[in-house]
């Protein structure tokens, strides 16, 4: 007999009752009903589930309405004041923008000079290091050639 025919085999969990999806839908429906019922009872100010809900206190009708504040009196300005003031403010703003632009230009120039200086110093250091390695390689090659030449001139005798 095949092992899947026994009760502990394949698809056993499908035969024990409703699937999880059915339980999920049932729970979602009951939670939705509960929330809508609670909102409806809260909106109608009824007592629900044994809790006492306090009735709102009506406002007092004895108080006279507060008077509205008076609008501020306009200040008379001399003729031509707003235009001259706006022109002066505009000129000041232009001067500030030019000053900020000059400062930004100076900072960018300094940063670019510093970046170029650091790149040049790094390249010079790498160039020196490369020259040192080349010199060491040439020295080692000369020593090796010298040793080979000595071995050719004075071969080792085994007897």
Which residue is listed with tokens 């007999």? 1
Q: For 61-90, what is the mean pLDDT?
A: 72
Cα dihedral sign for 74, 75, 76, 81?
A: negative
> Has residue 157 been placed in a domain?
no
Is the residue at 25 inside a domain?
A: yes
**b/e map 3-41, b = 16+ CB within 10 Å:** eeeeeeeeeeeeeeeeeeeeeeeeeeeeeeeeeeeeeee
Residue 41 lies in a domain: yes
Average pLDDT, the chain: 81
Q: pLDDT category, 46, cuts 50, 70, 90? A: low
Q: Is residue 74 part of a domain?
A: no
Which residue carries 């109608």 as its tokens? 44
Closest CA to 48 of 34, 29, 28, 31: 34
* pLDDT greater than 90 at residue 97: yes
77 within some domain:
no
Of 9 and 133, which is predicted with more confidence? 133
User: For position 48, what pLDDT does the model report?
Assistant: 47
Q: Give the residue-averaged pLDDT of 42-59.
A: 63
**Is 32 part of any domain?**
yes
**pLDDT for 139:** 97
Q: How confident is the model at residue 94 (pLDDT cuts 50, 70, 90)?
A: very high
Do residues 45 and 55 touch, judged by C-beta distance below 8 A? Answer: yes
pTM: 0.36
pLDDT tens per residue, range 108-124: 999 999 999 999 999 99
In which domain, by residue range, is 32 found?
A: 1-47
Q: How many domains does the chain have?
A: 1
Higher per-residue confidence, 32 vs 59: 32
Distance CA 128, CA 54 (A): 89
CB atoms within 10 A of CB 154: 8
Residue 114 lies in a domain: no
Residue at 3 is within a domain: yes
pLDDT band at 63 (very low <50, low <70, confident <90, very high): low
């Amino acid at each position: 007999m095949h092992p899947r025919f026994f009760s502990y085999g394949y698809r056993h969990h499908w035969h024990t009752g409703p699937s999880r999806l059915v339980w999920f839908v049932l729970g979602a429906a009951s939670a939705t009903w509960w929330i809508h019922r609670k909102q409806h009872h809260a909106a109608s100010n009824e007592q629900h589930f044994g809790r006492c809900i306090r009735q709102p206190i009506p406002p007092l009708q004895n108080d006279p309405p507060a008077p509205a504040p008076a609008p501020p009196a306009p200040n008379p300005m001399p003729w031509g004041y707003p235009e001259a003031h706006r022109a002066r403010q505009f000129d000041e703003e232009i001067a500030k923008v030019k000053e900020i632009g000059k400062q930004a230009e100076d900072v960018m120039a300094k940063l670019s000079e510093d970046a170029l200086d650091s790149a040049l110093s790094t390249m010079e250091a790498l160039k020196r290091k490369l020259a040192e390695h080349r010199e060491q390689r040439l020295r080692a090659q000369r020593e090796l050639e010298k040793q080979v030449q000595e071995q050719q001139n004075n071969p080792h005798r085994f007897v």
